[in-house]
Amino acid sequence: MLNIFLAATLFTGCDKNNGNEPEICTTETVGIEDIAFENYPTVDCSTSARAVSVAAACKLLGIDYYWREPIAFEWTMEPVAGAVPDEYSDFFSTRLLFSKTHGAFENLINGVADIIITHRTISPDEQTLADEKGVSLIEKSIALDAFVFVVNKNNPVKSLTVSQIQGIYTGEITNWAEVGGNNAAIKVFTRPRNSGSEEIFRTLVMGDLEPAEFPESDIGSMIQVFNEVIDNEDGICYTFNNYKNMVARNPTDVVPVIAVNGISPTEQNVENRSFPFIAEVHVAIRSDLNHNTFAYKVFEWLQTKNANTVLTDCGFIPLNKIETAERFGVDAGNSPYGGAVE
């Protein structure tokens, strides 16, 4: 089956133009009555969820948007040139924040942001801050993704078991030959504490196991993950499959993804959750948010089938689409990605 993360635009509202023109994502959807630039809430996000934040705002405000080729390294979701009125030229920098996961949670707890979109739920450190502030959050899952491990293209290892991955990151397995690879020391890369991928790694992959310390291998940015495994033939690190294929856009022949327990992160294996490491995209608000505000209405909208095209335009599998199909006894894998089954 074609991997949804590699070909998301085939299933979405993005129109592929002839020549070198960008694929434009149209704004036809059921939105929120009377929402406008002036009353749009302040939304913060993680690196991996930035596209969702931008696409949702564009969709709700009637602005066409597209995936822009990288100026440096990352593809980004952007409004079409000239679509935003001049008087709102600063909207995307002032209302749509990009503080990364930990910063987004801090901003939500401190009242700087109304809504956040991230790949994980609140961390222990962030919960401590929330408790100190007397704040509680409401967190809802809206989409599925795969949490994957990447290696150098010359690494002969194509699959690892969950226990082998855990062994590598606890320091019990130190040589690729121990898992069927070359006789070479494993170069283990990690992400900083409180980053989205690091906390997901600890909870989803390691569970009660404590990772070993690899301080010399701490990678500051998500895009650097790929630079490190490209440059280090014996390297391994983790990332989100959506980020790899939609933002970094590193194909398998450049940066291979390791199968886990022999299972690859295909569309079907993510939808049916047979891939061992399934990550969820979350939207969160403070529990004291007034339900009559546009912030709360956006929070609710992101959980409905009306937001499905936003999620698929960004390369994610909408959780609402899967649950709706299952509820009506329809094979979710056969329904189009324009929205959930009615």
The confidence score (pLDDT) of residue 333 equals 38
Residue 329 pLDDT > 50: no
Please state, as a whole number, how many other Cβ atoms lie within 10 Å of the Cβ of residue 22: 17
Query: Quick one: pLDDT at residue 30?
Result: 76
pTM of the model: 0.85
> pLDDT band at 72, cuts 50/70/90?
confident
Phi, psi of 291 (to 5 degrees): -70, -10
pLDDT confidence band for 21 (50 / 70 / 90): low
Beta bridge partners of 117: 45, 283
Alpha helix locations (H) across the chain?
Answer: 50-61, 91-94, 100-109, 124-133, 162-170, 196-200, 222-231, 241-242, 267-271, 294-301, 308-313, 319-327
Q: Looking at 89-98, 181-190, 316-325, which range is the least confident one?
A: 316-325
Report how far residue 326's alpha carbon sits from residue 323's, in angstroms, rounded to the nearest whole number: 5
**Chain position carrying tokens 């699959």:** 159
% the chain with pLDDT above 70: 85
Count how many residues are written for the chain: 342
Tokens standing for residue 276 = 């061992």
Q: What's the chain's average pLDDT?
A: 87
Average pLDDT over residues 205-219: 85
What's the CA gap between 218 and 238, in Å, rounded?
A: 12
What does the pLDDT read at residue 247?
94
Residue 218 has pLDDT above 50, yes or no: yes
- Number of other residues whose CB lies within 10 A of the CB of residue 12: 24
Core vs surface per residue 180-189: b (16+ CB within 10 A) or e? ebeeeebbbb
Which is it for the CA torsion 11, 12, 15, 16, positive or negative? negative
Report DSSP state, residue 188.
Answer: E
Residue 338 pLDDT > 50, yes or no?
Answer: no
For residue 1, name the pLDDT band (cuts at 50, 70, 90): very low
Contact 154, 133 (CB under 8 A): no
| H/E run at residue 137 | strand 137-151
DSSP assignment string, 246-305: III---TTTSPBPEETTB---HHHHHTT-SS-EEEEEEEEETT--TTSHHHHHHHHTTSG
First to last CA, the chain: 24
Quote the CA–CA distance of 114 and 179 in Å, as a whole number.
Answer: 46
Q: Answer whether CATH 3.40.190.10 is correct for domain 146-271.
A: yes
Closest CA to 309 of 1, 27, 6, 4: 27
> What CA dihedral angle connects 12, 201, 139 and 53, to 10 degrees?
-40
Helices (H) and strands (E) in the chain, counts: 12, 13
- Domain edges within the chain: 8-144+280-334, 146-271
Q: Do 146-271 and 8-144+280-334 fall under one CATH topology?
A: yes
What's the rounded mean pLDDT across residues 253-257? 96
In CATH, what number does 8-144+280-334 get? Answer: 3.40.190.10
166-184: average pLDDT: 97
* pLDDT at res. 98: 95
pLDDT at 171: 95
